[in-house]
């Protein structure tokens, strides 16, 4: 899959501009999708870009394990914590405005990070990058809805969009090792900086502006509670890698974060225009799609982290050779991503999501059984799992992205983008922290594979059940033609 592949046929867009020829319209939409897709890939690339060179960064700054954990989590903490508020800002002020503001912050932080003289400056830059990304991600989905306004076209676009995040994570892990080996870890920040600057230049030319919803409240109480609750709870889970669950360093942020999230849910139930309407998550089909996104994200993140450490520490491979080991992962991901759209159109997003989860789960189990033996051959022990996992993850991401945005009104596209990306960010944090308690990488991989199989079964079960009532029956479906829930 490449971002230049158009995910839809513009001739199916009943809202197309009739004053422009179909060829011109197609080219314009290809370029707009390429720009937005490149930005989305870069956001996840930036999350993964310091995973492989993290030991080198630790040596450069003389960091302890706790410092490395915080550094690796800093970007994701602000990214996940601010996504819901970023979605509201996008809906209220317009997608392109929010996108531009996020890109400016993201670019500034990416420019500062390579020159960090110490851990404090680097942490601040990573926190700022995450805040910018929290504005960019939901805004990009809002603009995408304006680029493909017809339901069928938008559904096909989301089928492609769903796999971009896995592609970004793969690119981050592949390129970061190459950059660290040939240049320096500091050059890893050149990629997000270049993409952000290019997007700022091209956005006014290629992207439509979306109408702001001026009458909508910002819901600042809800935003503060959600941001603080998600950030604190995420931090409490992250530090379980270094501290026992019973320690104050884990329990205090976890308990405070949980209390704030409970208060957030209570506040949202009584708010006139809530940041996150409770009924949005009570739709069981959407909830299972979000679970699929969360577990798929966890599976890919866990594989990168576990195998990167295994290959460098247990097999004594260099960062460059470690990155090369994931090339089949990238090829399988691209191949599956290209096939996901047609498969969704034929079999429906629910079936494709379930099949993808089952395939990814099988890949994880194979890696758990044979992949962590330092004396086993790469081709027989690692390669099968490194092909099955990304093939399944790309398919499940694509199908789940279509399901998550199904039936969402135009004025709530930012909300859908915020929730989707929050699931993607929180999935690895929550599930990874839980499975690490098993004390064995192999058991953790196998347990996550079993969880993927369970979510796959639940998705198939809900498909056979009676459809739930849509929240806005007057809105047309955003699923691709031929797709069923």
> Virtual CA dihedral for 323, 427, 34, 85, nearest 10 degrees?
-140
Burial of 150 (0-12, 13-18, 19+ CB in 10 A): middle
- Segment 412-438 shows an average pLDDT of 80
Q: Which of 167-181, 250-264, 465-479 has the lowest mean pLDDT?
A: 465-479
pLDDT value at position 36? 95
* Structure confidence by residue, pLDDT tens digits, 50-95: 877 777 888 888 888 778 878 888 898 899 889 989 988 998 888 8
Model pTM? 0.80
DSSP alpha helices (H): ranges in 271-326?
278-282, 284-309, 319-325
DSSP 334-379: HHHHHHHHHHHHHH-HHHHHHHHHHHHHHHHHHIIIIIT-TTS-II
Pick the more confident residue, 104 or 210. 104
Q: Match 């890698």 to its residue by tokens.
A: 241
pLDDT value at position 15? 44
Pick the more confident residue, 226 or 216. 226
- Segment 104-109 shows an average pLDDT of 97
Band (pLDDT 50/70/90 cuts) for residue 214 is low
CA-closest candidate to residue 289, choices 139, 159, 133: 159
Please answer whether residues 230 and 426 qualify as being in contact, where contact means their C-beta atoms are separated by less than 8 angstroms.
yes
Tell me the two tokens of residue 92.
């209220």
Band (pLDDT 50/70/90 cuts) for residue 104 is very high
Q: Which of 160-169, 195-204, 407-416, 460-469 has the lowest mean pLDDT?
A: 460-469
- Segment 157-177 shows an average pLDDT of 80
pLDDT value at position 102? 97
Please answer whether residues 445 and 368 qualify as being in contact, where contact means their C-beta atoms are separated by less than 8 angstroms.
yes
Tell me the two tokens of residue 264.
């957030």
Whether pLDDT at 435 is above 80: no
**φ/ψ bin of 132: left (φ > 0), alpha (ψ from -120 to 50), beta (otherwise):** alpha
- Segment 209-223 shows an average pLDDT of 78
Whether pLDDT at 139 is above 50: yes
Cα 390–chain centre separation: 14
Distance CA 277, CA 295 (A): 23
Please answer whether residues 216 and 92 qualify as being in contact, where contact means their C-beta atoms are separated by less than 8 angstroms.
yes
Please answer whether residues 82 and 138 qualify as being in contact, where contact means their C-beta atoms are separated by less than 8 angstroms.
no
- Segment 211-215 shows an average pLDDT of 71
pLDDT value at position 459? 74
Whether pLDDT at 366 is above 60: yes
Whether pLDDT at 206 is above 70: yes
pLDDT value at position 115? 92
Contacts of 159 (CB under 8 A, 6+ apart): 7, 340, 341, 344, 345, 349, 398, 399, 401, 402, 480
pLDDT value at position 436? 65
Report how far apart, in Å, the C-alpha atoms of 203 and of each of 31, 95, 145, 242, 370 are.
10, 11, 15, 42, 47
Q: What three-state secondary structure class fits 401?
A: helix
Pick the more confident residue, 438 or 183. 183
Question: Residue 180: how many CA atoms within 13 Å on its side-chain side?
Answer: 23
Distance CA 304, CA 323 (A): 10
Tell me the two tokens of residue 201.
């230049």
- Segment 274-289 shows an average pLDDT of 84
Please answer whether residues 333 and 327 qualify as being in contact, where contact means their C-beta atoms are separated by less than 8 angstroms.
no
For residue 217, report the phi and psi dihedrals to the nearest 5 degrees.
Answer: -80, 155
Pick the more confident residue, 97 or 319. 97
pLDDT value at position 465? 54
DSSP 112-148: HGGG--SHHHHHHHHHHHHHHHHHHHHHHHHHHHHHS
Distance CA 355, CA 189 (A): 36
Q: What is the 3-state secondary structure (H, E, C) of 466-477?
A: CCCCCCCCCCCC
Report how far apart, in Å, the C-alpha atoms of 10 and of each of 7, 151, 156, 326, 343 are.
9, 11, 11, 35, 19
DSSP alpha helices (H): ranges in 183-283?
190-206, 220-238, 248-270, 278-282
Tell me the two tokens of residue 41.
């890939």
- Segment 103-107 shows an average pLDDT of 97
Q: What is the CA radius of gyration of the chain?
A: 21
pLDDT value at position 472? 45
Q: What three-state secondary structure class fits 49?
A: coil
Tally DSSP H helices, then E strands, for the chain.
Answer: 18, 0
Pick the more confident residue, 159 or 294. 294
CA-closest candidate to residue 92, choices 355, 273, 356: 273
Please answer whether residues 71 and 119 qualify as being in contact, where contact means their C-beta atoms are separated by less than 8 angstroms.
yes
pLDDT value at position 34? 93
């Amino acid at each position: 899959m490449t971002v230049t592949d158009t995910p839809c046929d513009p001739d199916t867009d009943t809202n197309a501009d009739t004053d422009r020829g179909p060829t011109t319209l197609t080219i314009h939409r290809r370029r707009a999708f390429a720009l937005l897709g490149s930005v989305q890939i870069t956001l996840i690339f930036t999350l993964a870009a310091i995973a492989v060179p993290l030991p080198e960064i630790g040596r450069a700054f003389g960091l302890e394990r706790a410092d490395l954990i915080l550094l690796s989590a800093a970007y994701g903490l602000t990214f996940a914590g601010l996504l819901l508020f970023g979605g509201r800002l996008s809906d209220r002020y317009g997608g392109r405005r929010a996108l531009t503001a996020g890109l400016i912050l993201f670019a500034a932080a990416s420019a500062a990070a390579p020159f960090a003289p110490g851990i404090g400056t680097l942490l601040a830059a990573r926190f700022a990058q995450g805040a910018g990304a929290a504005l960019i991600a939901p805004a990009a989905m809002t603009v995408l809805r304006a680029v493909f306004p017809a339901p069928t076209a938008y559904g096909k676009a989301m089928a492609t969009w769903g796999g971009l995040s896995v592609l970004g994570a793969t690119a981050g892990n592949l390129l970061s090792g190459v950059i660290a080996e040939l240049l320096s870890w500091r050059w890893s920040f050149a990629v997000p900086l270049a993409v952000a600057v290019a997007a700022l230049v091209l956005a006014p030319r290629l992207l439509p502006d979306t109408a702001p919803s001026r009458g909508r409240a910002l819901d600042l109480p809800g935003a503060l509670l959600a941001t603080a609750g998600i950030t604190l709870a995420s931090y409490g889970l992250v530090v379980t890698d270094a501290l026992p669950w019973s320690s104050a360093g884990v329990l205090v942020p976890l308990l405070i974060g949980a209390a704030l999230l409970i208060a957030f849910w209570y506040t949202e139930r009584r708010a006139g225009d809530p940041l996150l309407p409770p009924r949005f998550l009570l739709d069981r089909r959407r909830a299972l799609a979000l679970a699929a996104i969360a577990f798929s994200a966890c599976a890919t993140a866990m594989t990168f982290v576990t195998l990167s450490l295994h290959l460098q520490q247990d097999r004594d491979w260099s960062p460059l050779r470690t990155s090369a080991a994931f090339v089949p992962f990238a090829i399988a991901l691209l191949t599956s991503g290209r096939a996901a759209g047609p498969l969704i159109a034929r079999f429906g997003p629910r079936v494709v999501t379930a099949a993808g989860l089952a395939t990814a789960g099988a890949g994880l189990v194979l890696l758990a059984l044979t992949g962590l033996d330092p004396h086993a051959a790469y081709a027989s022990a690692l390669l099968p799992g490194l092909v099955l996992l990304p093939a399944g993850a790309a398919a499940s991401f694509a199908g789940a992205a279509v399901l998550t945005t199904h039936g969402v009104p135009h004025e709530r596209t930012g909300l859908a983008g915020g929730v989707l990306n929050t699931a993607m960010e929180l999935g690895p944090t929550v599930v990874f922290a839980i499975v690490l308690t098993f004390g064995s990488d192999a058991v953790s991989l196998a347990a996550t594979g079993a969880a993927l199989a369970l979510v796959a079964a639940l998705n198939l079960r809900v498909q056979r059940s009676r459809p739930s009532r849509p929240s806005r029956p007057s809105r047309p479906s955003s699923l691709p033609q031929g797709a069923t829930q």
